[in-house]
Amino acid sequence: MTRMARRLVHLVDDDPGVRTALASMLATWDFDVAAHESAEAFLDALAAGASGCVVADVRMPGMGGLELQRELARRGATLPVILITGHGDVPMAVAAIKAGAQDFIEKPVDDDALAAAIRRALAIAEEAEGAKAAREALRQRHARLTAREAQVMGLVVAGHSNASIAAQLGLSQRTVEHYRAQVMMKMEAPSLAALVKLAAALGE
Amino acid sequence: MAVATSRDARTGLPDWAWGILVMVGIVLLSRLSDIASFTGLPIKPWKPGAGFAFGMLLVRGLHLLPWVLLGQASAVLAASLAADLPPDWGASIAAGFSASLGLGIAADYLRRRTRVDLALSRLGDVLRLLVVAIALAPAISALEVLAFVSIGPLREAEAQVGFLRLCIGNLIGMAVVTPIVLRLHAPGLSRLRAVGGVAVLEIAALCGALLVLAWYIFGIKETDEFKLFDLLFLPMVAFAVRYGLDGALAGLALTQVAMMGWLRWQDFPAAGVVELQTLFFILSATCIFVGIVVDERERAGAALRANEKLLREQDAQLARVMRLDAIGEMASTLSHEITQPLTAVRAHLRAALRRLEAGATGIEAATTDLRHGVTQVDLAAGIIRRLREFLGRGEPHREAIDPLALVRDALALAAPDAERGGVRVVLHAPALLPAVLADRIQMQQVLLNLLRNAVEASRAGDGARLVSVGLRASDGEAIEVSVHDDGPGIAEEIRPRLFAAFATTRPHGLGLGLAISRTIVEAHGGRIWLERPGPDGTEFRFTLPLARPA
């Protein structure tokens, strides 16, 4: 995680005046702003595994902020979305929050509130990204196991003793002990309890 | 005897009281209509009692039948007594029984088998009634004659003459008296009962004409009753045309009484009375049909007018809703259009501020922010200018308009609102005012806005809920319009910016009404101001220049 990615804000607004102004203002809060003139343009430019958060106007020609948020969810993108609106009414705010919007800010935008919302969103995004990365690393470790080792790991985690595993697989107990040591090493598990936890995380 | 004890909800009379009323009515009518009868027997060509009994059986039900029997029998007895003859009990009861049996069967048939409306509101109802009367009259007359011949004193040789007399008597009774009973019983105000003013004079004149004619035709021995009878059609048709069925029935009753009075006075031969009654039946049928056709046309016309009024109201409501919708739409667009540059300006100002606070290195970027901010402010100003042009709608379509018509139109549009709020709106204006030069639709907007404000204020206050609109010529160059209400007045703090946009005390108002009104009035070269702020009455006034200044 670079510092830059942590502070990246995707600003989506069709009004060039508002877009320029918000970009300039957010820059003074030390955010890195990537401005887009429409939701469609933003989605086109969106790379897989993009990070940061999205600040989008609700009312835009073509795809509006609410639809953009739904589209992001549909694509499995984890970017938190903050919506800005000129006429914030309660039903729209409720709909936005229900659809998973991180926050809902009214125009004219209070920059303190917006900055706070962005920081919260980025923290959440970072946390989500961290969890995602950890799961990926674990999967890679598991992939290093041979077929036999994976088989043995499954039985160990299920609570079988070495003798039981040996009988089931038609191996000697020594061989089972060897596989078991390999599993503990490759999975970087310091104890049997830790291995069980890792297996549970893998299964998610 | 079946004496029911139920009470009538409308009159509160118990059934036995109705019964006695029917019985006494039959006897009285029979005595009053004693003309050209066979000595001692109520065999006469004028039998309003039968029509009365038939009408009562129709409206009150068959349980009155025993009372009808009693009434008819008593009438026969009374006739004997009046002629100083010994009472013939058998003949009385037989005659009463046969008459009430016939009437009862006919009434039952009409009530149950036909869907006759007893209020006689349609031509078909009267037709049914008359057809039944024409069929019934010979039947009950035959039964009565049979009773008198077989039990009573009537000789067989007299049976045919007696039958004819009874027949025409019963027929006219049912054609004239029965409809009167039905109409008196019908719910709602009859047209005769609802008349007043000039109509009273007209009715008096018509009645006078009828009585004079009746005297001329029947009261003077030299004139031929049969040749002149048709003269009666003139006032009678006038009655029917002017006052419908009720008028026709009242006129017929009057004519019948007058005719019989004069005939009796000059001892007219009985055979002649029978013939005159036949003519009278034709007169009755004609007038009743004319009356009911007139009624139907009147009702159709009233329904049409009610429909038109409804449509007009709906139109006005639609126009109002559309106008409100347009204002709402405009307000929404306006708020979006203005919010955009406002958002940009605020962001640029905050950015500039933060850059300058951060130190000298930010000056260049801060300058750019401020420059952008100025551009955005200009943008917002442009939007507002466009809006004002839109509201002023450039050059309005001005024409010379009668200010009174203008105000009346606006009053008509505001009337439903006022009615709903229980507010009375009155107009004070001279009959003749010079024309003003104005855009009709825009002026309607101004007037309607002032009126609606006034009505709403009146409703909110605890005054008499009176809005008065005044029109007067002011100094020969303009017309001054005033709208006064007795509402709670205008709060002190609102007054200075009363005509500014969004100055409203109402929870649902936009506060654009007076602002738009001022724009329009001033575009017309007029002036609008608050003459009295309340609380003892609020009054707005505005002026409109004359089309041709004096």
Write out the DSSP string of B222-256: TS-HHHHGGGGHHHHHHHHHHHHHHHHHHHHHHHH
Concatenated DSSP letters for chain A?
A: --HHHHTEEEEE-S-HHHHHHHHHHHHHTT-EEEEESSHHHHHHHPPTT--SEEEEES--SSS-HHHHHHHHHHTT----EEEEESS--HHHHHHHHHTT-SEEEESSP-HHHHHHHHHHHHHHHHHHHHHHHHHHHHHHHHHTS-HHHHHHHHHHHTT--HHHHHHHHT--HHHHHHHHHHHHHHTT-SSHHHHHHHHHHHH-
| pLDDT given at position B4 | 40
Pick the more confident residue, B548 or B263.
Answer: B263
Query: Same domain for A112 and A11?
Result: yes
CB count within 10 Å of CB B132 equals 21
Q: Which helix (H) or strand (E) holds B483?
A: strand B478-485
* B14 DSSP 8-state letter: B
Residue A40 pLDDT more than 80?
A: yes
- Hey, are the CB atoms on B343 and A18 less than 8 Å from each other? yes
Question: Residue B339: its chain A contacts at CB < 8 A?
Answer: 86-87, 107-108
- Hey, are the CB atoms on B342 and A25 less than 8 Å from each other? no
- Predicted confidence band of residue B505 (pLDDT cuts 50, 70, 90): low
Give the least confident one: B37-46, B185-194, B472-481: B185-194
**What ipTM does the predicted assembly reach?**
0.71
Is A92 part of the contact surface with chain B (CB cutoff 8 Å)? no
Total-model pTM = 0.47
What's the number of domains chain A is made of?
A: 2
| pLDDT given at position B549 | 62
Residue in B344, B354, B362 closest to A18 by CB: B344
Query: Same domain for A22 and A88?
Result: yes
Residue B2 pLDDT more than 50?
A: no
Compute the distance between CA of residue A100 and CA of residue A81 in angstroms, rounded to an integer. 8
Mean pLDDT of chain A: 86
Query: Same domain for A83 and A62?
Result: yes
Overall average pLDDT of the B41-65 stretch: 85
Q: Which helix (H) or strand (E) holds B351?
A: helix B270-358
Query: Same domain for A122 and A36?
Result: yes
Is residue B292 within 8 A of residue B245, CB to CB? The reply is yes
| pLDDT given at position B367 | 92
- Hey, are the CB atoms on A25 and B339 less than 8 Å from each other? no
Overall average pLDDT of the B40-61 stretch: 84
Tell me which of A99, A134, A169 is where a domain ends.
A134
Question: Residue B341: its chain A contacts at CB < 8 A?
Answer: 17
Give me Rg for the CA atoms of chain A: 24
Give the least confident one: B200-214, B261-275, B509-523: B509-523
| pLDDT given at position B323 | 64
CA distance B374 to chain A (A): 11
Two tokens at B298? 């009147």
* B219 DSSP 8-state letter: I
Two tokens at B538? 């609020």
Residue B3 pLDDT more than 50?
A: no
CA distances from B91 to B39, B150, B189 (A): 14, 8, 43
Tell me which of A134, A168, A184 is where a domain ends.
A134
- Hey, are the CB atoms on B336 and A86 less than 8 Å from each other? yes
Please give the single-letter amino acid code of residue B421.
Answer: G
Q: Which chain B residue has the Cα nearest residue A109?
A: B343
Residue in A25, A59, A109 closest to B336 by CB: A59
Instruction: State the pairing for strand pair B538-545/B478-485.
Output: antiparallel
Count contacts between A and B (CB, < 8 Å): 76
Q: Which residues contact A103 (CB under 8 A, 6 or more apart)?
A: A82, A83, A117, A120, A121
| pLDDT given at position B188 | 59
Question: Residue B368: its chain A contacts at CB < 8 A?
Answer: 24
Residue B542 pLDDT more than 70?
A: yes
CA distances from A150 to A75, A139, A145, A183, A192 (A): 32, 12, 6, 8, 15
Query: Same domain for A15 and A53?
Result: yes
Convert A160-171 to b/e letters by CB count within 10 Å (16 or more is b). Answer: bebeebbeeeeb
Question: Residue B362: its chain A contacts at CB < 8 A?
Answer: 28
Is A184 part of the contact surface with chain B (CB cutoff 8 Å)? no
Query: Same domain for A148 and A55?
Result: no
Give the least confident one: A84-93, B88-97, B185-194: B185-194
Query: Same domain for A154 and A117?
Result: no
CA distance B345 to chain A (A): 7
List residues of B whose CB lies inside 8 A of any A CB: 332, 335-336, 339-348, 350-351, 354-355, 358, 362, 365, 368-369, 372-373, 375-376, 379
| pLDDT given at position B406 | 85
| pLDDT given at position B320 | 63
3-state secondary structure of B288: helix
- Predicted confidence band of residue B541 (pLDDT cuts 50, 70, 90): very high
* B176 DSSP 8-state letter: I
Residue in B339, B358, B373 closest to A107 by CB: B339
Residue A88 pLDDT more than 70?
A: no
Query: Same domain for A10 and A91?
Result: yes
Is A16 part of the contact surface with chain B (CB cutoff 8 Å)? no
- Hey, are the CB atoms on A109 and B347 less than 8 Å from each other? yes
Q: Containing domain of residue A192, as a range?
A: 144-203
- Counting residues of chain B whose pLDDT is more than 90, the rounded percentage is 8
Residue B190 pLDDT more than 60?
A: no
Query: Same domain for A163 and A98?
Result: no
Overall average pLDDT of the B435-460 stretch: 84
- Hey, are the CB atoms on B348 and A87 less than 8 Å from each other? no
Query: Same domain for A124 and A169?
Result: no
> pLDDT tens across B304-359, in order?
888 888 887 777 766 666 666 666 666 777 777 788 899 999 999 999 999 999 88
Question: What is the domain-level CATH number for residue A91?
Answer: 3.40.50.2300
Tell me which of A87, A109, A134 is where a domain ends.
A134
CA distance B364 to chain A (A): 12
Q: Which residues contact A5 (CB under 8 A, 6 or more apart)?
A: A51, A52
Is A25 a member of any domain?
A: yes
CA distance A37 to chain B (A): 15
Q: Which chain A residue has the Cα nearest residue B342?
A: A108
Residue in B340, B345, B362 closest to A86 by CB: B340
Query: Same domain for A94 and A163?
Result: no
CA distance B329 to chain A (A): 13
Is A62 a member of any domain?
A: yes
Residue A39 pLDDT more than 50?
A: yes
Is A191 a member of any domain?
A: yes
- Predicted confidence band of residue B5 (pLDDT cuts 50, 70, 90): very low
- Predicted confidence band of residue A35 (pLDDT cuts 50, 70, 90): very high
Pick the more confident residue, B495 or B133.
Answer: B133
| pLDDT given at position A87 | 66
Q: Which chain A residue has the Cα nearest residue B376?
A: A17
| pLDDT given at position A117 | 92
Query: Same domain for A120 and A152?
Result: no
| pLDDT given at position B318 | 66
Two tokens at B158? 């007299």
- Hey, are the CB atoms on A108 and B345 less than 8 Å from each other? yes
Is A139 a member of any domain?
A: no
| pLDDT given at position B511 | 59
Residue B296 pLDDT more than 50?
A: yes
Is A80 a member of any domain?
A: yes
Nearest residue to A86 via CA among B335, B455, B362, B119: B335
Residue in A20, A28, A87 closest to B336 by CB: A87
Compute the distance between CA of residue A15 and CA of residue B489 in angstroms, rounded to an integer. 45
CB count within 10 Å of CB A63 equals 19
| pLDDT given at position B1 | 35
| pLDDT given at position A37 | 92
Is A51 a member of any domain?
A: yes
Where does residue B441 rank: exposed (0-12), middle (13-18), buried (19+ CB within 10 A)? exposed
Q: Which residues contact A7 (CB under 8 A, 6 or more apart)?
A: A30, A31, A32, A52, A122
Compute the distance between CA of residue B57 and CA of residue B64 in angstroms, rounded to an integer. 6
Question: What is the domain-level CATH number for residue A168?
Answer: 1.10.10.10
Mean pLDDT of chain B: 81
Is residue B530 within 8 A of residue B540, CB to CB? The reply is yes
CB count within 10 Å of CB A65 equals 27
Is A152 a member of any domain?
A: yes
| pLDDT given at position B6 | 46
| pLDDT given at position A54 | 94
Residue in B341, B351, B355 closest to A17 by CB: B341
Residue A19 pLDDT more than 90?
A: yes
Compute the distance between CA of residue A185 and CA of residue A92 in angstroms, rounded to an integer. 53
- Predicted confidence band of residue B12 (pLDDT cuts 50, 70, 90): low
